[in-house]
Amino acid sequence: MNSTPTVIIVDPYSTGCLVAQEISRRGNEIICLWTKGFSEEMKQHVPMSCENLTYVYTLDEQETLQETKQVVLDTGMNIIGCIAGGEAGVDLADALSEALGLRTNGTAIPNRRDKKVQQELIAAAGLRSVRQAGGTTLAEVDAFLKTEPYPIVLKPTESAGSDGVKLCHTYEEAVDHFHTLMRSQMVNGGECPAVLCQEFLRGKEYVVDHVSRDGVHKTTMVWVYDKRPANGAAFVYFGCDAVDSESEEAKILIPYVRQVLDALGLKNGASHGEVIITSDGPCLVEMNCRARGGDGNWRPLCRALTGGFSQVEGAADALLDEEAFNRYPERPPSPFKAAGQEVILVSYAKGKVRATPGYDMIRCLPSFVYLETGIKIGSEVDYTVDLVTGIGSVILMHEDPAVLEKDVNFIRYMEEIKGIFVFESVAVQLSRPRAESVALPSLSESGVAHYPFSASGPNLVRLMSNDRPELMGSMIRRMTTIDASREAVIVVDPYSTGCLIAEEIYKRGYKVIALWTDGFSEEMKKHIPLSCTSLVYHAEVTEATTGLGETQKLVLMAAGALRVVACLAGGEAGVDLADKLSERLQLRSNGTEIPNRRDKKIQQELIAASGLRSVRQAAGTTFAEVEHFLRTESYPVVLKPTESAGSDGVKLCHNFNEAKDHFDLLMRSQMVNGGQCPAVLCQEFLRGKEYVIDHVSRNGVHKTTMIWVYDKRPANGAAFVYYGCYAVDSESPEAKILIPYVRKVLDALGLKNGPSHGEVMMTPDGPCLVEMNCRARGGDGNWRPLARALTGGYSQVEAAVDSYLDGAAFAALRDIPPSPFKASGEEVILVSYTRGVVKSTPGFDIIRKLPSFVYLETGVKPGTKVDYTVDLVTSIGSVILMHRDDAILRQDADRVRQLEKDDMLFEYEDPLESLGHKKRDEHNQQCFFSASRIDLY
């Protein structure tokens, strides 16, 4: 027989490897014994510091205990101990150590890992325990599931960490998870023997670590988990903190857990009990009959806090050195010898990782000890909603608590600004898309909420204030001639705000003929704002495919005896036809002298020729025509169709390959307004604030009806999320720059008549046109009540009609909006920081009661799926607020933002949530230790 003392470690993985290494350092040999069915994957779960750990023998459990004992004895080693290195090894370690006559917890309690047995034993000892039921068939737990208040926790009776642990909120969820568990394979190996159903304990979660020898228990540390709501999940792990042993919590927890150990017959070895302090005292969640897991990455911190020991050394001493064990204090020192904690990293963004600069910065912190993460270049990161989606674990420790606090705050700041990772660049939408520029499935088809457009028809929820008399009806009545009833106006492609203009014409006594351009989609024809339900067309005509002359004949035939007095565009796709037809009918027109003024490339060339700031650009129908520009221009670069509405096809591309891919996509694509993409425009990316300047014009005289600025901020990992839109005072420095610039643009483009809205970026070297839209501002005109309140009675809608049909009214119109405004108002675009299936919308009810509430439009209703807002399409609604008192407006806007941040807009259908602390795929982890902290060695 070999006389070298030898210890058997059953299933040595995670912290079990550290205990084995500590035993080996003391001159002992180690036998590794794997239980039957233990997965090959988990055998590779070896902490970085244990890579040099070697075993004198590696054995496998046999069919019977006696056979396993014989295999061990046949090694000829001097066996002095047998302990569990992991959860699955507990039962065999207890049985084998007893059979070999070694220090043991024995088999008097045959299955102390069984969580149901644990609760029954502590209840019999008079300790607080959970209400529960367990079994291998649904019939055994069905009565409990039907009578216990929900939520209810379901878990395997034997498992490690949170393996299979779920919080179920309904009977149906509980039944479904019961069957899932009974079909499942435990990650440690072995079938799920039974399922345990328990009451849900509310309170803080603690972990109490002990080492024991012959029934004497020594507390090595008390921990508390920092769990908070994040990304729409109720329980996200943010960290783990050590608890002072003289605190009130520790004075309750330590005696309770020691009584639990006695009740379970745990007399020897390491253990860690998970306990909730409920309103009626501490209650065991489960007792783990082994060392605390997590690869023991907490060990350096623990040794620093205690001044030299942790559960790892304690477990070795409990087995090998009675004298050393007796020298351990009953509990950790108070106060601690240093300050430290585990910080679990939380992601507020998602994407494919291109670089990890945040990890490099964390490793430079003064308190840095250890970093473990499964994220590397090429990894896909999602929003953190539980421990499994956490992005790493950091151990921090320092003698100065102030330094520790500063470092923790820095890490949290890095998370908030999405500074941990650089993601691979993706094409993002820049401009604010409107209904005319977004082809989306209906909610009934997709069930997913998107920014509300009236093209969604009955799927939209629209709410108007019904107690704001100043918003009802027209503020200014427009008188018309007696001939109006005998006259007709052609509106080409009347949708979105174009319907409001058509309705205003209709209300003034004119007949309206809707002229649809060839190929205009049937879906977009349904894009009718809520307030236009009374609009009736005298006739609807479709553009002839045989030419303008035939279209003219069709329109005049539809007009019959009516005199056609005006022809204007009701939407983006109708601009070219409206210009051509109005010119042919010798009506007020912008004409065809500039044949395609909608073309964004032509727009930039025309304003450049007029000496105005324009963007660097290249365009073409083949990639060869733009390739030189894309290879030489600084990135990012904007790609867009030369003709489109809103942000239809507009993308910010961050590298040459992205730009090429998007060019090819645009050339293949069908514009949602109808027609093929004629060419692709590639432009420099303009940095600055984005403004929209609304005008109406008559005979080349331009009147500014409103200036708007978009509130765009980073959110949920996206760089450009729309938060709202504000009116800009016409006497502000920005307005005094923007208005003259835009009017010169209108002149350069030959826009002499009708409504327009120019999108302009205020760059460091002055205003620069993004694009000029030769029509009224879109967005269903839901801004109209706000604009009329701000100006004291008019908006671009009424002014557009005046520009064509009432010269006197146009002449009387103000040159620029009044300063100051007659009221305070804004559009608030709702942002979601959560995701889930909506059960109810209590936040909308709160918003409707705000004093400044005017209008709410949303695609969200019960049953709708909501996701994190990362662009306008994933926004969850639009709210118009207006009040004569700016303080009330600000208060209401802040209230809406608070509802978003507090996740109070929606109540979600209850998801299954993971409760326990589960480790990620540890063998794929990257681990980094501080290389400059000699105090750790």
- Chain centre distance of CA 63: 50
Q: Is 431 helix (H, G, I), strand (E, B) or coil?
A: coil
Give the start-to-end residue ranges of the domains of the chain.
5-100, 131-199, 487-585, 616-684, 689-910
Which pLDDT score, from 0 to 100, does residue 937 have?
A: 45
Q: Do domains 5-100 and 487-585 have the same CATH topology?
A: yes
- Which residues are CB-neighbours of 8 under 8 A, at least 6 positions away? 30, 31, 33, 72, 79, 81, 82, 83, 93, 96
d(CA 154, CA 171): 11
Torsion of CA 569, 575, 580, 584, to 10 degrees: 10
d(CA 498, CA 569): 7
Helices 796-805/497-507 angle, 10° precision: 50
Amino acid letter, 488: A
Confirm if 182 and 294 have CB atoms less than 8 A apart: no
In which order are the strands placed within the sheet that holds 152-156? 132-135, 195-199, 152-156, 166-168
d(CA 915, CA 234): 10
Question: How do 926-929 and 637-641 pair as beta strands?
Answer: unpaired
Going by C-alpha positions, the residue among 294, 275, 293 that lies closest to residue 285 is 275
Stretches where the chain sits below pLDDT 50 are 160-162, 186-188, 433-445, 454-458, 472-477, 479, 645-647, 670-674, 912-914, 917-923, 937
Instruction: Name the CATH code of domain 487-585 (choices 3.20.20.70, 3.40.50.20, 3.40.50.1370, 3.30.420.40).
Output: 3.40.50.20
Confirm if 7 and 23 have CB atoms less than 8 A apart: yes
The DSSP result for 61-123, as a single string, is --SSHHHHHHHHHTT--EEEEEEESSGGGHHHHHHHHHHTT-S---SSSTTTT-HHHHHHHHH
* HEC letters along 326-375: HHCCCCCCCCCCCEEEEEECCCCCCEEEEECHHHHHHHCCCCEEEEEECC
Q: Does domain 131-199 have CATH number 3.30.1490.20?
A: yes
Q: Angle at Cα 380 formed by Cα 377 and Cα 383, nearest 5°?
A: 125
- Quickly tell me which residue has 């909501």 as its tokens: 866
Domain spanning 5-100, CATH architecture? 3-Layer(aba) Sandwich (3.40)
Which pLDDT score, from 0 to 100, does residue 780 have?
A: 80
- Chain centre distance of CA 332: 41
Torsion of CA 885, 704, 573, 642, to 10 degrees: -110
d(CA 427, CA 435): 20
Instruction: For CA atoms 908, 912, 914, 920, give the dihedral sign.
Output: negative
Q: What is the pTM of this model?
A: 0.63
d(CA 533, CA 464): 15
Confirm if 490 and 566 have CB atoms less than 8 A apart: yes
CATH no., domain 689-910: 3.30.470.20
CATH no., domain 616-684: 3.30.1490.20
d(CA 437, CA 878): 17
Which pLDDT score, from 0 to 100, does residue 713 have?
A: 83
508-521 pLDDT tens trace: 999 999 999 999 88
DSSP conformational letter for 864: -
Instruction: For CA atoms 429, 432, 437, 438, give the dihedral sign.
Output: positive
Q: How many CB atoms lie within 10 A of CB 280?
A: 8
Which pLDDT score, from 0 to 100, does residue 877 have?
A: 85
Give all strands (DSSP E) within 214-264, no chain letters.
216-230, 233-242
